[in-house]
Chain A
Amino acid sequence: MSAVSPSSASDAIIACDGLSKHFGGVRAFTDVAFQARRGEVTAVIGDNGAGKSTLIRCLVGVHVPDAGSIVFDGREHPFSNPDGARKAGIETVHQNLALIDELTVAQNLFLNRELVRRIGPFAFLDRKAMKREARSMLSRLSINVPSINQRVRRLSGGQRQAISICRAVGSGAKLVVMDEPTAALGVQETANVEALIRRLREQSVSVILVSHNFDQVRRLSDQIWVMRAGKMAATVRASETSGNELVALVTGAA
C-alpha cells in the first residue's frame, strides 16, 4: 500500500487537491487529493456514504466544492456547472443513462449535437450523415445493436449502457466519467460493458470509473483510489493489489 502521492501534473488529465464538500452540517468529504492519468482507467471505490459520488459530482461540475482546487487538462477551476464541464471535455455516463426512450439510437447518439446542413437562414438535420457517423461510432467500439433506427426503449439494459458510453466517447470527450456502469446489469451484459471499457482503455480514452465491485475494478482499471468515511484512504496500482487488500482498505481493517 502506498501513500497518496502527488505525481507530476503533466500526465494527469484531472487532478484535485485539498478538496472539501459539506452539505449543511453533513460532511461529504474533507481534504481529498485525487488524480486521474491521461489514457488510463482510474477507479474510485469505497463503501456507501464514503463520499465517492459527491467527489465525482464535484469533478463534473454538478456540485461546487467548498474548498480545494481542481485542475482539468491544465486549467484551474475550469467550470461551475455540468454544461461547462461538457464543453471543457468531461462527459458523464449518468447512472440513469440520460437516454430518450422514444428516440432512435442514432438520434440519441447525436442528441443536442445534431449535424445540420444550412440552407440560407435555415438549418436542417443531416440525417444521412448522422446515421453514417452513428454506425461508425458503434462499430469503432464494436457495439452491436439491432439497428440504429431502433427506438432505445426496445434495447436491453446492456445495450442502453453501451449507447450511453458510446455517446460520451463519440463526442470527443477528453475524460469519460462512469458512475456504476454495471450496477443494474446481468452477468452477460456486465461482461459486454466491461469489454467495452477495456476497448476504451486500448484506445487510450481517459476514464474515471466508480464501482462497488472490487473484482471488476481490478480487471478494468490501472489505478485504484479508495475512499473511506469522507477521506481519500489510499491509492494503489490495480496490478499490484489483491481483492483482499482492497476489502481491507475500504473497510479500514488494514
Chain B
Amino acid sequence: MSNPTNNAPAAHSAGAPEESRPSLSALLLDPSFWADWASVVGLVGLVIIFGIAQPVFLSVANLQALLLASAILVVLSIGQTFVVATSGIDLSLAAAVMFGAIVLGLVNAAGYGILIACVLAVLATSAIGFLNGLIITVGKIPDFVVTLGTLSAITGLGLILSGGEPTMVGSTFLLKLASGSFGPFGYPVWVAISAVIVAHIALYHTRFGVHLLATGGQTESAGALGIRTNRVKIAAYTISGFCAGIAAILLVARIGSAEPLINTSLLLNSVAAVVLGGVSLFGGRASILGPAIGALMLTALVNGLTLLSVSAFYQPLAVGAIVVLAALIMRYQK
C-alpha cells in the first residue's frame, strides 16, 4: 500500500527521495489503514480472543495444527487472488480441486506412479483454468457465467469418471507429505509458504505482475499501451487452475482418498480470504500476503470455535458475518 501523503504538490517534490510518513495516531484514525490491514487485524484479534477464552488455542501443537489445516486454503486463495486481480472471479476453483483429486486417484489406481498421478492432476486443473480464461476472453462471456458453468461441468465429469465412488490412494509419498515435517512446520505448510513466496515475487517483481494489475485496473488503457490483456487474463485463470491442482494433491494426502462428493467450503472461503486480504473485487489492486493471512484467519476462526465447543453449525454463520463486515470496511480503502 502506498503511503498516504498530503496532496499539495510542493516544488520539486518529485525529485525528493521519499514522502514524509504520517504520524501513528493519524494512521490509526484513518479508516483506509484498517481496510488495508483487515486480515492482519482480524487474525490478531481472533488469536487474542481465543487465547483468553481457551488457552489451549495458543499451544504449539494447536498452532501447528492450525497452520497445517490452513495450507490448502492458502494455496487456493493465492490462485483466486490472481483471477480477482484481473477483476474476474473463479467459481470453479473448488470443483477443480475435486476434479484434480479424482484424476489423481484414478491415475494412481490404474497403476501409474504417484508422481505421474500428481503431475496429471495438476495438468488437468491447469487445463480447466486455461479453458476458463480462453472462453472468457475469446468468447467474451462474463467470468461469472463461464466459471459457474465449469463448476457444474467438471463436478459432473468427476462423478462420471469416478462413478461417484471414492478412490483410496495409499501412497507413502502422500502419507509423508501429509504427516511429515521439516523444522517447525509440516510439509503442507512449507508448500503453502513456497506458494506465497513465488506468487508474491510474480505479482510484485515481474512484468507479468504489473500487466496483471494494469489489466484488472483498466483493461482498455492497458490494451492501448500494447499489453495483451487477453493473454494476461488467460494466464491468471491458468494459475488459478494450477493452484487448484496443488491443493488437490494436499487434499488427497490429507484425507487419504479422492472423494468426488466431499462437500467443502473451499470456494466461498477462497473468495472470503481474498476479500479479507484487501484485494479489490473490481481488480487492479492485490497482494499475496493479505489473502494468505485472510485464509489463516478463517481457519483460526473455525479452529477456535471448535476448541470452544461451539457447534459446527455456527461456523458458516461466523465466516459469513466476518466476510460481510470485512467488505464493509473495504469501502474505506483509498
* 0 or 1 for each of B193-220: is its CB under 8 Å from A? (1 = yes): 0000000010011110111011011101
User: How many residues on chain A are close to B (CB under 8 Å)?
Assistant: 38
Distance (whole angstroms) from the CB of B249 to the closest CB of chain A = 25
Given known pairs A83-B226, A116-B207, A123-B207, the reply for A149 and B2 (CB within 8 Å) is yes
Please indicate the chain B residues that have their CB under 8 angstroms from the CB of A147 in the complex: 2-3, 5, 13-14, 16, 18-19
Size category of the binding interface on chain B: 35 or more
Closest residue on chain B to residue A126 by CB atoms = B205
Distance (whole angstroms) from the CB of A117 to the closest CB of chain B = 10
Contact of B25 with A by CB under 8 A: no
CA distance A139 to B10 in the complex (A): 13
Distance (whole angstroms) from the CB of B200 to the closest CB of chain A = 12
Chain B interface secondary structure, helix, strand, loop or mixed? loop
Please indicate the chain B residues that have their CB under 8 angstroms from the CB of A99 in the complex: 218, 221
B214: which of A94, A100, A135, A153 is its contact (CB, 8 Å)? Answer: A100
Please indicate the chain A residues that have their CB under 8 angstroms from the CB of B6 in the complex: 146
A101: which of B7, B218, B220, B226 is its contact (CB, 8 Å)? Answer: B218
Judge whether A139 and B7 touch: CB under 8 Å. Answer: no
Please indicate the chain A residues that have their CB under 8 angstroms from the CB of B11 in the complex: 144
Distance (whole angstroms) from the CB of A155 to the closest CB of chain B = 9
Judge whether B224 and A103 touch: CB under 8 Å. Answer: no
Judge whether A135 and B207 touch: CB under 8 Å. Answer: no
Judge whether A103 and B214 touch: CB under 8 Å. Answer: yes
Judge whether B213 and A103 touch: CB under 8 Å. Answer: yes
Distance (whole angstroms) from the CB of A145 to the closest CB of chain B = 5
B227: which of A101, A112, A124, A125 is its contact (CB, 8 Å)? Answer: A112
Please indicate the chain A residues that have their CB under 8 angstroms from the CB of B213 in the complex: 100, 102-103
29 chain-A/chain-B pairs, Cβ below 8 angstroms = A83-B226, A96-B221, A98-B225, A100-B222, A100-B284, A101-B217, A102-B217, A102-B284, A103-B210, A103-B284, A111-B214, A112-B222, A123-B206, A124-B205, A139-B14, A144-B13, A145-B14, A146-B7, A146-B9, A147-B3, A147-B5, A147-B16, A149-B2, A149-B3, A149-B19, A150-B2, A150-B5, A151-B2, A154-B7
Interface residues, chain B, CB within 8 Å of chain A? Answer: 2-3, 5-16, 18-19, 201, 204-207, 209-211, 213-214, 216-218, 220-222, 224-227, 280, 284-285, 334
